[in-house]
Amino acid sequence: MTTRRHFLQQAGLTTLALSIPFSDSIAQALGKEPKVLRVAIMGLGSYGSRVAEAMKDCGRAKLVGVISGTPSKIAQWKEKYGLSAQNCYSYETVDQIKNNKDIDAVYVTTPNALHKEHTLALAKAGKHVICEKPMATTAKEGKEMVDACKAAGVQLLIGYRMHFEANTLDIVKKQRAGEFGKTLFFQGLSGFVIGDPSQWRLNKALSGGGAMMDIGIYSINGARYLLGEDPIWVTAQETKTDPIKFGEGVDETITFQMGFPSGATASCLSTYSLNYLDKFFLSGTKGFAEMQPSTGYGPIKAKTHSGPLEHSHVTHQTTQMDEMAAIILDGKQPLIPVNGEEGLKDMRIVDAIYKAVKTGQKISL
C-alpha cells in the first residue's frame, strides 16, 4: 500500500510538505492549486467586517460576495473588496443566489434571531452555511436549521473560532492524553461591560437574550471541549442591577453550574457588567491548565502545571476560515467539531440554563 509519506517522497517533495494538509499536498504534488472556498458574508456589521479583513490572509477561503439590507454598505464593500456586482445581494433578493455558481458558502453574521430564517433560505438555495454563534435563539430553531441543511445536502458549520486556536487545541490534546489526570473541575468566566444600550444585543427580539447568548456561550462550549464530555444537569442564578438597560428577557449576569457524567463539575459566570472576565481554568488529579485571556480575539495566554504554552498568535478568523474551507471542500474532520449538531448541543444547554433561572430548579439534560 502506498503511504502518504511514500507518495510525497516519490513526488520529490520536501519534508515541509508533510506539514501541509493531505489534500493540499496531493494537489501540489499534481501541480494543481488547492481549491478555494468562495464565500459571501451576510450581515455587514462589525463582526462581518472582522471576518472579511481576516480572510485577506487566507489561503483556502476568499471573500467574493455580500448580502445586506443596507444598499450603502453593499456599495462600500463592493468598492473596498473589489466584488463583482453579480455577487452582491439584498435580503430580498437572496433567493437569487441559487443561480450563482461563483459562491460556495455564505457566512451569516446577522443578529441571532435572524439566523434561522437566513440559514433556511441559503440551504434552499443550495449554499453551504457558516453561521455565527449562537446558532439560533433556541434549540428548537437550531434543530430546524440542522434538519434543513441536511435535507438540502449542504453543510452547516458554526463560527466556533476557538476550536482552531493553537493554545486551545494544545490543552485539549493534553487533556485527552491524560496529562492532567482525571479532570474534575472547570471554571469559566466570560464577561465585559456592554456599551450602547440601543444596540441589537440588548434587544430581546433580535438577540434572544443577553450576556448568555453573546459571551456566556463561550464558557458552555469551553467546559464541553476542555472536559471532553457533555453535561447532564445545570443549575443557574440571575442577578440584575439595571432593569432599564437590561429589560425583560435580557440577562445582565448569570452564574451557572453544570454536572458531567464523570462526576466533573463546572462553575461559570456570564455577565455584561464586569470587565476583565475572560478566563478558563481546568483542574485534574495530576495537573491543571489555565487560559487568560481564553476566548478574546487574541493573543490567547495559556499555561499548565508544566509551564507556559508558547504558541504564536494568528488571527483567529483567518485560521477558522481556512480550516472550514478544508472541512467543506476536503471533508476534513476537526479535532473539536464545528458542525450544526455541535451548535445544537450548546443551544440545549442555554435553554436549560434559562429554565433553571426561571424555576430555581436543577434541570436535567
Q: Which residues are catalytic?
A: 133, 218
- What distance in Å separates the CA atoms of residue 16 and residue 332, rounded to the nearest whole number? 20
Cβ–Cβ < 8 Å for 158, 164: no
**What is each CA distance from 247 to 251, 267, 339, in whole angstroms?**
8, 25, 32
Cβ–Cβ < 8 Å for 335, 170: no
Instruction: Give backbone dihedrals phi and psi of 2, rounded to 5 degrees, phi first.
Output: -80, 120
Q: Which three cell numbers stand for residue 109?
A: 453574521
Sheet hosting strand 61-67, strand order edge to edge: 88-89, 61-67, 37-42, 105-108, 128-131, 156-158
- What distance in Å separates the CA atoms of residue 356 and residue 14, rounded to the nearest whole number? 56
- What distance in Å separates the CA atoms of residue 25 and residue 34, rounded to the nearest whole number? 8
Cα-to-chain-centroid distance, residue 365: 22
Q: Which three cell numbers stand for residue 356?
A: 433553571
Which residues have C-beta within 8 Å of that of residue 364, sequence separation ≥ 6? 232, 233
Reduce the DSSP state of residue 336 to 3 states and report it: coil
Vertex 195, ends 191 and 196: CA angle to 5°? Answer: 140
